[in-house]
Structure 1
């Protein structure tokens, strides 16, 4: 029987790591010298391109299957927020695509990845790959970023359309959160101490959802809030029980704020895409830095920069090697 409660998800994660905890030794605060990233298209630095060698080019799709030729093989028109953050932290050497340089780069995010198991390059697969690539790394010297779940929520929205009871939707959310909790516990058991977890944006504000009308927007907001509320409880439980610090960033609130007051963020267009799907000529807007969204679900490089700056602000006291 499933337990949809935060406590149930948290306890399941703890049980997977109980035997490891007895092996931990006391340690002082280490200097953070490497960034390790697990995620999906919002943090993919080029891994999807390494896997497929395919790119999105005009005529574009509203939701792309592949990264864009423009912008360096990202699901945007430029570098993701975590790459921009890594540059500010002098960690660019480790934020590069792990699938391009195994054992040197440690960004394992892949566009299309899910948190829950059973899908290609899911969160557990990414974490396992990292542990294999960096078996000798002093794990407390790494800063771990977990930004995943958006594709799980897209699946949850689709499930809600076909199962109005919400049971299938909540099962997807539970599995995604369980995977996040389990993998943070796994990394903590291996010595990881400093984590950043980014919650889900308000998917109701994504252009691809807006175009489907109020009912779709209502479902998207319900799913986003359900995921984020339970994620907050799960992270609080993990932090209370493990010798870790989990920094949270509220992407949901940031996107809401940008849409409500775009000028405050240097933006002018927050409800439409920079790209124009289905055309070859004039397929991209003239001033992408004024847009929040590059395509139907992904932010522009400028929006990624806003997120990078906000995240850096909350990490100011960490012992980065900069």
Structure 2
């Protein structure tokens, strides 16, 4: 019998929840970046190009599946399917945990950061109130680090981690104040193994950043959940990735560190067996890894079909 990728994650997620038996949700609202974007950045950048916005480019482009930053559906889409819920996805590729985007040319056009995404949701919500029976999914932080590392910011990485944690808690707080009662917050991805991060000599910085989030965010969310009277399930994405790497062969993965579809410094031909790869490009997981993550998230909520 092969080891399960799901079993230990249930315990980790419930550490930040307020109860073992989750309620039945009526909808799923998602906020985040390219790990959860189901086409928003494709639609937005096409719109910007049509309006001839300066420096705009189409993202993610033709190397990707139907506007996802991968070769298939994202983890939150799989989660929605597992829970049999309709999904309203506000995530935008490049989004940061507070305001704006890694791609600075988006900033004058629209605030695509999680704060702006929540603005858009509350504007569309009836009376500006959040649905108390819905599940609110927040998965954000990677672009905080990418901007920091790629543009040589000088502040200590601990300050960056503290800012990301504050922004994530603020996002939960804003939605809770508007009436949301049920949350899944996903911790940092394993940035330190990303092909682009390794190639750029940024792995040690990434490891420090993600470990700070992994160590500090769950406890803060426990306290916040008690203060605001909300249920918060924390999904430890690093623990998920670590376990997947240890049991890669059992899941049919044979290539953990190279992208199936190389894009940098130049585009190359994609691999022939993407489901054997952890990474689609130098930053993003394949549909296979997204699917495994989405199923693990549903298991953590105790509501997998």
Smaller-chain TM-score bracket: 0.7 to 0.9
Structure 1, unpaired ranges of 5+: 1-28, 55-63, 96-105
Instruction: Find the counterpart in structure 1 of residue 178 from structure 2.
Output: 190
Instruction: Find the counterpart in structure 1 of residue 143 from structure 2.
Output: 151
Instruction: Tell whether the 8 Å contact from 2:194 to 2:257 is kept in structure 1 after alignment.
Output: yes
Instruction: Find the counterpart in structure 2 of residue 212 from structure 1.
Output: 200
Instruction: Tell whether the 8 Å contact from 1:197 to 1:247 is kept in structure 2 after alignment.
Output: yes
1:71 and 2:40 are equivalent in the alignment: no
Query: d(CA) in 1 for partners of 2:160 and 2:81?
Result: 34
- Structure of greater Rg: 1
What are the residue-to-residue correspondences of 1:49-64 with 2, within 5 Å?
A: 49-53=42-46
Instruction: Tell whether the 8 Å contact from 2:31 to 2:90 is kept in structure 1 after alignment.
Output: yes
TM-score using structure 1 length: 0.75
Shift in Å, 1:171: 3.2
Instruction: Find the counterpart in structure 2 of residue 4 from structure 1.
Output: none
Instruction: Tell whether the 8 Å contact from 1:265 to 1:306 is kept in structure 2 after alignment.
Output: no
Aligned residue pairs: how many? 263
CA 1:297–1:311: 2 relative to 1, 3 Å: same
Instruction: Find the counterpart in structure 2 of residue 311 from structure 1.
Output: 297
Structure 2, unpaired ranges of 5+: 1-21, 48-56, 102-110
- Per-residue displacement from partner, 1:110-156 (whole Å, max 9, x unpaired)? 00000123543111111111011112466112110000111012233
What are the residue-to-residue correspondences of 1:1-322 with 2, within 5 Å?
A: 31-53=24-46, 66-69=59-62, 70-91=64-85, 94-95=86-87, 106-119=88-101, 120-136=111-127, 139-158=131-150, 163=154, 167-213=155-201, 216-277=202-263, 283-317=269-303
Instruction: Tell whether the 8 Å contact from 2:97 to 2:115 is kept in structure 1 after alignment.
Output: yes
Output the aligned Cα RMSD: 2.4
Query: d(CA) in 1 for partners of 2:39 and 2:242?
Result: 28
